[in-house]
Amino acid sequence: MTEERAEPRTLAFEWRVWAAENLLRGVPREQVLAGLRDEDVPPDEARARVHELERSPAFVAAGAIARRLRQLELVLELQARLAEEAPAPGVERCSEALPAARFYQRYYAGNTPVLLERFADGWPALERWRPEYFKRRFGDVEIEVASRRESRLDPDIHFAATRETVTMADYVDRVLASGPSNDLYAIANNRNTARPELQALWDDIRPPPGYLDMSRVAGASALWFGPAGTLTPLHHDTSNILFVQILGRKRVYLGPPRSRGLLASARGLYNHADCERLAPAERRAAGVIELTLEPGETLFLPVGWWHQVRALDLSVSLALNCLQRRNIYDWYKPGALGA
């Protein structure tokens, strides 16, 4: 009978990748070698391959990048730890009229959300923008809406397939007849505020001085109008938005750009995470804040902040991007960097 001898194994490519990744993450060399031994890699082979790996130009270059990455991670960690010390997690509320200069200094430059209770004070839109008014005033105007959303996977990502052109009158009838539903929604991508026939809308808003460049409002704003139950999944924008809730309430989940948990589940501008399904403890760990936006309130959505929005009632909202400061951050797409 011949004695069976184990063939000496060479370290498989996947294990070299595993070893490289762990070494670059700062796992001590001896621990990596022990991990390979546990996988039955002969100790000499493991040592020789790890040595070879550490001397490869790709590993040396990756080491420099990993150190830089770790530095940036520490900056995020510092911000996250400090944020945990905030007296009450939540969005700041501002119950006084906030001068634009202070808004830009504290919230825009600070990349900090704030709920402005007085921003839309006295706007005729708060009284007027009801479905019946839209039908009476703009009934014949053709608008675009997103429809049959429920029968599609990720209707917001595959928005083009949901486009439908209808008259405002028809749309209003469908919204009024609808129960709570996410099937039908006029959203930002429908670009209805750019329509020449809807420009009279701007007579109904009175933004406080210094915030907005109203010469750009038609192209840099969005009307969100739909039944109770619409859901905009978790995503971030590449501009800052003043989001004015005109009619009905919306529940908003907000997560900071520094949230490592949310960064890990980013996919393009959207996110695999569903805040409605996360347990409260998971939301807290990801730094997610929940708030209900009431009619007449304005939420400042800073660029890069994740947000997920559910209409609790039939709802009309106006998103304003035409801020008086620079407001194009198209390069900010951490979820588009690939694996």
Ligand X SMILES: O=C(O)CCC(=O)C(=O)O
Q: How many Å apart are CA 168 and CA 152, to the nearest integer?
A: 24
Please state, in angstroms and rounded to a whole number, the distance separating the CA atoms of residues 123 and 297. Answer: 12
Using CB under 6 A, which of 172, 241, 254, 322 touches ligand X?
Answer: 241
Does residue 221 belong to the site contacting ligand X (CB under 6 A)?
Answer: no
Burial annotation 34-47 (CB, 10 A radius, 16+ → b, else e):
ebbeeeebeeeebe
Which of residues 309 and 323 has its CB atom nearest to ligand X in the complex?
Answer: 309
* Cβ 312 to ligand X shortest distance, Å: 11
**Which residue of 237, 239, 255, 320 would you call a contact of ligand X, by CB under 6 A?**
237
Shortest distance, position 210 Cβ to ligand X, whole Å: 22
Classify residue 319 as exposed, middle or buried by CB count within 10 Å of its CB (0-12, 13-18, 19+).
Answer: buried
Backbone angles phi, psi at 250, to 5 degrees: -130, 140
Comparing every residue's Cβ against ligand X, the nearest one is 232
The verdict on 193 binding ligand X (CB under 6 A) reads no
Tell me the two tokens of residue 99. 């001068």
Query: Is residue 149 a contact residue for ligand X (CB under 6 A)?
Result: no
Of 138 and 243, nearer to ligand X (C-beta) is: 243
Q: Which is nearer to ligand X, 220 or 241 (CB)?
A: 241
Q: Where are the beta strands (DSSP E) in the chain?
A: 92-94, 114-116, 142-146, 163-167, 221-226, 231-235, 241-247, 250-255, 266-267, 270-271, 289-293, 298-301, 306-311, 315-320
* CA atoms of 173 and 171, how far apart (whole Å): 5
Pairing of the two strands 92-94 and 114-116: parallel
Token pair in block for residue 220: 């840099």
Q: Is 270 in the site for ligand X (CB under 6 A)?
A: no
Contact flag: residue 192 with ligand X (CB under 6 A) = no
Tokens, residue 263: 């960064």
266 touches ligand X by CB under 6 A: no
Q: Does 243 bind ligand X (CB under 6 A)?
A: yes
User: Which range touches ligand X (CB under 6 A), out of 51-59, 73-81, 207-215, 237-245?
Assistant: 237-245
Q: In the window 310-339, what residues touch ligand X (CB under 6 A)?
A: 317, 319
Q: Does residue 306 bind ligand X (CB under 6 A)?
A: no
Cβ proximity to ligand X: between 19 and 299 the closer is 299
Identify the residue among 307, 316, 322, 335 touching ligand X (CB under 6 A): 307
Q: Decide: is 120 part of the binding site for ligand X (CB under 6 A).
A: no
CA 285 from centroid of its chain's CA atoms? 17
Sole binder of ligand X in the list 232, 259, 271, 298 (CB under 6 A): 232
- The pair of structure tokens assigned to 144 is 């675009």
- The residues that touch ligand X, with contacts defined as CB under 6 A, are 188, 224, 230, 232, 237, 241, 243, 250, 307, 309, 317, 319
